[in-house]
Structure 1
């Protein structure tokens, strides 16, 4: 069965287990996600399931998208996010089916993908944890990165050199996170630990690949 949902990060809190130990958890609203497309090996050459999450006004999307999701039951609204999940075999679901948090179980391990918080333009000390120069005895380059290359040889700056620049706002995946609780009525997943992204951002929750 397909194990993957689009969700929204609500925030972090903590709960207590049966032994009274505090567990930090991230609350993720996983679903409901409606199936907007089905890909099969015979017709498309691969197996996948396309799902939609959230709502937005139809006037803000193209006519092609409105027509595509109309078959899935979206009439007054269209999904805010549409993603495709690759599968090993043809999916059992059909267009219009609704998937919720109940496809996951407690103590199951998942991978959560999201876009990290943007930190803007940062120097090498914050971006790459450089030590910087000395702060005393006349040091005047405390938070600088130092030399980036010699003049004659190689006479250039190598690609990949760690230098100041944009920090954050990149897609990252946290792997092997354990689901502590599944609240089916509210479509909430309580996942142990932190997940990438700011509160309110979209995340992708999939079954863990390495478990």
Structure 2
């Protein structure tokens, strides 16, 4: 399995062997029962559908009848979240199995996907980091405005994709190459360095990172090149 579903618990700090303080995010990862296994012969691709967060009996009315039958077929309790992860060569899973943080043993980096915090309606300064207009020199009630968004004759309209005020946040965000500091399979906890998207209690997807940062080979000190003289040497 390449990944697992989890819940962001919050942030704390740990100390390494050298006594350095490391900020980490605590994630409750799994356990995730396998609800369905998809095969190339039947579905056209190979993947495993796993679930997270068991729905209590008092909330059973929130689960539709087709979905209840889907869970009953795998002999698992109704779950709040369902996600698919591709299966790799050699992965052997079947319906009813449980995926835990043990899949990250020996893994140094993970990528985490979550829904960012919703900030509501925001202007361009907060939403996109615009600098705003000058505070003096004739500015009048025009300090945090975006400025010109189009000309009158051409294009005669506001182009699609123009950065304007609007809803800020509540978007899918993926953070790459987060270092795994510690795993606690017996407690279903995963500690990663730094922050991750979303609020405390939000659902996240944790995947083994495939896009690793390229290691620097050789001398790490970059040679300074004067840009005023580089053109005379042909850019060397």
TM-score of the two chains, using structure 1 as the length reference? 0.94
How far apart are residue 142 of structure 1 and its match? 0.7
Aligned to 2:69: 67
Structure 1 CA distance, aligned partners of 2:90 and 2:79?
Answer: 23
* 1:92-103 equivalent positions in 2, closer than 5 A: 92-103=92-103
How far apart are residue 176 of structure 1 and its match? 0.5
TM-score of the two chains, using structure 2 as the length reference? 0.85
Is 83-92 or 171-180 further displaced after alignment? 83-92
Aligned to 2:17: 18
The answer to whether the Cα contact below 8 Å between 1:118 and 1:169 also exists between their aligned partners in 2 is yes
Aligned to 2:199: 198
* Structure 1 SS opposite 2:119: strand
Unaligned runs of 5+ in 2: 213-236
How far apart are residue 88 of structure 1 and its match? 4.2
* Structure 1 SS opposite 2:41: helix
Aligned to 2:162: 161
Structure 2 CA distance, aligned partners of 1:24 and 1:99?
Answer: 27
Q: CA RMSD in A?
A: 1.3
* Structure 2 SS opposite 1:8: strand
* Structure 2 SS opposite 1:70: helix
1:30–1:5 Cα change, 3 Å: same
* 1:45-124 equivalent positions in 2, closer than 5 A: 45-56=44-55, 57-74=59-76, 77-89=77-89, 91-105=91-105, 108-124=108-124
Give the structure with the higher percent strand. 1
How many residues align structurally?
208
Aligned to 2:128: 128
The answer to whether the Cα contact below 8 Å between 2:120 and 2:167 also exists between their aligned partners in 1 is yes
Aligned to 1:42: 41
Q: C-alpha deviations, 1:8-46, integer Å up to 9, x for none?
A: 000001000001000100000000000000001111110
* Structure 2 SS opposite 1:42: helix
How far apart are residue 3 of structure 1 and its match? 2.2
Q: C-alpha deviations, 1:123-154, integer Å up to 9, x for none?
A: 01111111111112442211111111111111
Please identify the structure whose Cα radius of gyration is greater: 2
Structure 2 CA distance, aligned partners of 1:121 and 1:72?
Answer: 43
Structure 1 CA distance, aligned partners of 2:121 and 2:201?
Answer: 23
The answer to whether the Cα contact below 8 Å between 1:105 and 1:179 also exists between their aligned partners in 2 is no
